[in-house]
Amino acid sequence: MLAGSLVACDSGDSQAPAKLPVADESQVDPRPIGAFQFWNPQVGFDVYPWDNRRMSDADREKDPVYNPAWPYFETCMQAAGTPVRAASQARFAQKDMTTFVGELNRANPDAKANFRILQTPLSERKTAFQAGSGSAKAVAFLDCANQWLTKSSKELFEKTGIPNEYYPSK
């Protein structure tokens, strides 16, 4: 959705973007791309669904696919004093991220204020928006998402040393 908007704004013409030279489509990194990848003007804060297979939510819950960065994202949020979920006994799943982003948007309904947070440089966000303010969770979300949800599976492996579903390949 966002990528289409960026193409339309960037090129100005109706040509389809060139296809990436990838031999096997399964090798394409599923993470989102773009400067505002954690913001969607229609909904507010947003995270591209990791498990976007064409099946019902119930079927995805029965056979989940896990983003290898989610545990690190969740730990980052906890360290910032803004936990993503009340209890973290089960493995972090797509439904947890979807629920969290929905709660984040309900807690921060002012789109202009949220966009102001988004436009503030990463290095200035924590000082610009007080920890006790309603925007603290949004600031932590953007910082932690930038730290962990922007990494490819290979980058995640290189940073943590922990193999994941996509890297190193078997």
User: Please, are residues 99 and 162 in contact by the beta-carbon 8 Å criterion?
Assistant: no
User: Please, are residues 167 and 154 in contact by the beta-carbon 8 Å criterion?
Assistant: yes
Given a cut of 60, is residue 109 above it in pLDDT?
yes
Given a cut of 70, is residue 16 above it in pLDDT?
no
The whole-angstrom separation of Cα 166 and Cα 168 is 6
- Domain boundaries, given as residue ranges, for the chain: 64-160
The whole-angstrom separation of Cα 82 and Cα 139 is 10
* Mean pLDDT to the nearest integer, 37-58: 88
* Mean pLDDT to the nearest integer, 40-44: 87
Q: What is the pLDDT of residue 131?
A: 62
Q: What is the mean pLDDT of the chain?
A: 77
Residues 6+ apart with CB under 8 A from 162: 68, 156
pLDDT one-digit tens code per residue, 63-103: 988 888 999 999 999 999 889 998 777 889 888 999 999 99
